[in-house]
A and B are shown apart, each in its own frame.
Chain A
Amino acid sequence: MNSPSTEPLTAQSRLNEIDRSMQWPTILLLLSAVVWLLTATAFALLASVKSTQPGFLAGCEWLTYGRVWAAYLNSMIYGWGGNALFGVGLWILARLCRRPVPLPGMLLIGAMFWNLAVTIGVGGIIIGDMTSIEWLEMPAYAVPLLAFSSIILGVWGILVVRYGRPGPVYVSQLYVLGALFWFPWIYLTAQIFLVYEPARGVVQAMANMWYVHNLLGLWLIPAGLGAAYYLIPKISGRPIHSYYLASLGFWSLALLTGWGGMRHLAGGPVPAWFVTLGIVASVAMALPIAIAAVNHNVTVFGRWDQVAASPALRFVVFGTISYTLASLIAIAMALRSVSEVAQFTLMVQGQTHHMIYAFFTMTMFGAIYFMMPRLLNQPWPSAKLVQTHFWCSTVGIIIMLVALYAGGWIQGWQMNMPTLDNYGNPVHLNFLSIVQNTMPWLHARTVSILILGLGHLALAANLLWMVALAILSCKKALCPSNSKLVPETAVS
């Protein structure tokens, strides 16, 4: 509680200056991220209920399962994921470049355009204009705006680095820069190959898997890793285990990720060598995964009291442990003998959620818990709500993952592997029975989404409360942003 800040005073005032320049864009991005998170949770809940009760709200075309599911994916990835990534990533980048951001107004515009584009896109999906291309469902009229705003935000990220104070490069900067630079490229490439000048035949499917895999592996994951690499030493006070390995981890991840997507097409109508290459790249990911595991987890190992005491660190550490687990499962699922069963089942969804929720989202929660007090100059009002959020998220995601992995494995086994009948002939279980056998697991998924939603509501309530307190204190002090009221030693 009373531990003195370790920042020297000049550094502290510089830090305040940086935080102030990033204040409005970051607050906008993080608040809209939370709004999108709640939207996505609502869509997910509806889709999950519909997958067990197909008659639920079935008369409404706008809420048919396919559209609700696509709306969920897009509001989760671009709404929550994109906003959180830009908010957290740009803020970390500005801090590590140790200069205030030039023209932060442009960031504000970029953030507004991004949210406008996602709103248009998700609305378009619901009214039936979706493309049915996985993770690119937004209709063509939302695409230019989304691409444009991602370029604005990306260019500003580069400007932050370009005009930053010269000095060493920390691995978080690499991760954030990579995510900002790669997104427009993979997004526009995929749009061109799939929508504007559709490629011939299965080249489309390959472009789609390349995009899906890279969106996760070269956009969301780098942002999560970058945030973890920044927050873990920052909060724990211990340097990460090995900086050298951290760089190696970044570049091997950058090199290998792009190839991994082809493993999803195993057995499908693509030449075998693409799939084989994808599998090799996926297995080789063991290297960056091991590096991240060592760097993140060894740094905090044995300091569980510290992890428990810090609202931010507990989320981040949960996230980094999940990263290791999710990646190992991804490697296992890449192998042909495993993917023969796991392909096309709930396991794929499970693995994606392991990465997007248990790793990325939890890490972003941690970053939000660390950043918001510094941006609003107002501590979190309720520890109980933070506790609620953490435990709901933890329990919820564990239930969901167990349900999807176990249910998916059983589903895949029954779908693909014969059993012997009384006469010793191989028979396959009737398809409708397999569907019925997934029901308990899908009910568990619905329950888990409810629990997660409760946690998200706790976060939103805490955040609203905090904003309200900040506005009140701001009124009292006649707005601190143009005075020197930011206490020099309070936050850093």
Chain B
Amino acid sequence: MKSLPIVFCGLFATLALSWAGILWQGQKQLGGLQPMSELYAIDPISNAARIESPQKDEPRHPEEPVGLAQQGKAQYISLGCVYCHTQQVRSQGRGADFERGWGNRQSVPRDYIRQERVLLGSSRTGPDLADFGQRIDSVNQLHAHLYNPQSEAPGSTMPPYAFLYQKRKIALNGEKSAGAIEFRDGFGPAEGYEIVPTRRAVALAAYLQSLKLDYSLPEARLPEKP
């Protein structure tokens, strides 16, 4: 083929265009975002974000995730939770993410900068989890849900993750272990047994609890509390 070099230039150029436009440009615009406190943005004099000096002890968001939650995220990744759960709250007026209580503000790029792996997800077979930590009433309930989703959400199609839990005989004196899960009637183990989360389940629960959009950023503020 005589025109082979020309064809290759064409093949190269067409893909290089979108490569540069999306990846390079995306990296340029979003690759250097820093954690920020909400107050950073408003400078009444110059109206500029950069000159603001932080108040002492003003936390900068998003904060560094803690180690246990990181281990839990490894479980989340390994079990493929992302195939049914997104982690993104769409802007108000697009769909019903706010109305469903999945978040009080939309998620923005800065929310993800501390994450080594970003799991936006593309399927909502289950509810969105970007702000899930704020919806958890108790860790016990969360564990009961993970152990057998039917107990907390009857009719759910979420698979049970019983393999993350250990079934143990209750000690002779009849006292349950500290971490044993309390179940609703009819969902617990057989008499004389208890269900205890393994380290993996504890980590996964810690990760799920850490998923919170409870802070304001200059580009995405939480609504004023009434």
Give A contacts to B, CB under 8 Å. 50-52, 54-55, 58-61, 64-67, 69-70, 97, 128-134, 137, 158, 161-162, 164, 166-167, 169, 173-174, 177-178, 181-182, 185-186, 189, 193-194, 198-207, 210, 214, 218, 251, 254-255, 257-259, 261-262, 264-271, 274, 277, 340-341, 343-345, 348-349, 415-418, 426, 428, 431-432, 435-436, 438
Contacts and interface: CB of A to CB of B under 8 A. Distances in A.
B83 A66 contact: yes
Given A55-B160, A97-B1, A161-B1, A428 B100 contact: yes
A187 B109 CA distance: 24
B166 interface: no
A415 B11 contact: no
Interface of B: 1-4, 7-8, 10-12, 14-15, 17-19, 21-23, 26-27, 29-33, 76-84, 86, 88, 90-91, 94-96, 99-100, 106-113, 115-127, 149, 153-163
Interface-centre pick from B94, B113, B122, B156 (highest chain A CB count, 10 A): B122
A174 B6 CA distance: 11
Contacts of B154: 432
Contacts of B83: 65-66, 69-70
Given A130-B77, A428-B96, A59 B162 contact: yes
A128 to B, nearest CB: 4
A348 B122 CA distance: 8
B163 A59 contact: yes
Nearest to A416: B95
B153 A432 contact: yes
A58 B160 CA distance: 6
A164 B79 CA distance: 48
Contacts of B119: 132
Contacts of A161: 1, 4
Interface-centre pick from A70, A199, A206, A210 (highest chain B CB count, 10 A): A206
Q: Chain A binding site: helix, strand, loop or mixed by DSSP?
A: helix
Given A64-B159, A428-B96, A177 B11 contact: yes
A185 B18 CA distance: 12
B125 A201 contact: no
B162 A58 contact: yes
A127 B26 CA distance: 34
Given A203-B27, A205-B118, A258-B14, A267 B94 contact: yes
Contacts of A259: 18, 21-22
Contact of A258 (B22, B31, B107, B159): B22
Nearest to B118: A204
A66 B204 CA distance: 15
B15 A54 contact: no
A210 B77 contact: no
B192 to A, nearest CB: 21
